[in-house]
Amino acid sequence: MSTLRIIVVGGGIVGAACARSLVRRGGQVEIIEAGDGPGLHGATAAGMGHIVVNDAEPAGLQLCLLGRKLWREDAPPMNPDDGFIESGTLWMAEDQHGLDNLSRAADRLATAGVTAHLLEGAALFDAEPALSRDLIGGLQLPQDGVLYAPAAAAALVAESRRLGATIRCRTRVTSVEENRVVFAHGESMVADAIVIASGLDALELCPGSENCIPIHPREGHLAITTRGTCIISHHVVEAGYQKGAQGEEDEAVACAVLPRSTDQLCIGSSRRPRRAGGLDSDLMERIIHRAERFIPGIAGLPIIRKWTGTRAASADGRPLIGLLPGSSSLWVAAGFEGLGITQAPAAAELIAASIFDEEPVIDPTPWDPGRN
């Protein structure tokens, strides 16, 4: 069998993971990235960097589990400050309703074989002493973690290049046709397979995308503190975060605070149905105020940077992973919303299995781009 020539459009965390999985199988891979380098733009550069198992629905849980497993076991070589750190996630309940929801989540996770501990009363503060003392409990997932996504994307690409892949940066793709990628300057390239992992605009590049689940923008705001301010050890998230993450509200603010190995805190988060624009100071103030409710004193910590970013969210909450409807050479991996970093290596394995006609490690059907 001749070597497959494969183009990966997009050098963010998902495209970088796809490139590594494909070149490991012997593909002749070229990455096309519009920015200055892998992981430096888009959602990869703007995200928090959490690796979290989300049990919102069974298929998503399996994708998260596979992604987390691959990050824990097969992360590329990285600087210790940037690489995977098993910090754990701690979901926090303000009231009995929230704790009951976390208890049900614990049961679902246990059924799926996920290590999770329901913490009530003092056990919550033994796990995380900085939390507000009127919280009544939480759910701890000790094997979740954090990494610095731009560095991870760069490391994945570096590993791919050592195996023979190439990358072309500062090159914008204007359209993708069957077996062909067309660039802004008029040049085009042909390939046996094309993987479109360019985030929000992925479907805009493709013919036949009207037969796919749509992808919509979701804006978010984040802030990061100075070094020496890391007053928590877990990624702490309020139990109500899921409601906003699943698109049940037009505008959502929830406490999600992530510790960095650099002794900093990344503070979030918000969601609005729009592309990222200028910083909204009022919204940022609401985010900090919400974080203060769960972590007293966080509002007084010095912040060195605030920013916005755009998540690419599918209309039904599941990413698009697989062969485009009606095509024999175009694959897509996009629409991950806030779980792109967690799920990137899992999506890459599904894409690679499809291109190389392998048995997939998990059933890819829930993420079929042409699903109804």
Structural domain contains residue 105: yes
Predicted confidence (pLDDT) per residue in 213-230, tens digit: 999 999 999 999 999 999
Structural domain contains residue 104: yes
pLDDT of residue 247: 52
Structural domain contains residue 233: yes
Residues 285 and 255 in one domain: yes
Structural domain contains residue 310: yes
Residues 117 and 248 in one domain: yes
pLDDT of residue 207: 79
Q: Are 312 and 199 in contact (CB under 8 A)?
A: yes
Strand partners of residue 182: 175, 188
Residues 287 and 322 in one domain: no
The DSSP call for residue 111 is: H
pLDDT of residue 185: 86
Low-confidence ranges of the chain (pLDDT < 70): 1, 242-249
Residue 80 burial by Cβ neighbours in a 10 Å radius (0-12, 13-18, 19+): exposed
Q: What is the DSSP string of 207-271?
A: TTGGGSPPEEEEEEEEEEEPTT----SSEEEETTHHHHHTT-SSSEEEEEEEEETTTEEEEEEEE
CB count within 10 Å of CB 81 equals 13
Rounded distance between C-alpha atoms, residue 38 and residue 88, angstroms: 27
Residues 277 and 307 in one domain: yes
Domain with residue 165: its CATH number is 3.50.50.60
Rounded distance between C-alpha atoms, residue 76 and residue 264, angstroms: 23
Residues 156 and 305 in one domain: no
Domain with residue 229: its CATH number is 3.30.9.10
Residues 139 and 261 in one domain: yes
Structural domain contains residue 80: no
pLDDT of residue 372: 78
pTM of the model: 0.95
* Number of structural domains the chain divides into: 2
Strand partners of residue 126: none
Residues 209 and 234 in one domain: no
pLDDT of residue 121: 92
- Closest Cα to residue 26, out of 57, 5, 56, 50? 5
Residue ranges making up the domain that contains 336: 5-70+148-214+316-367
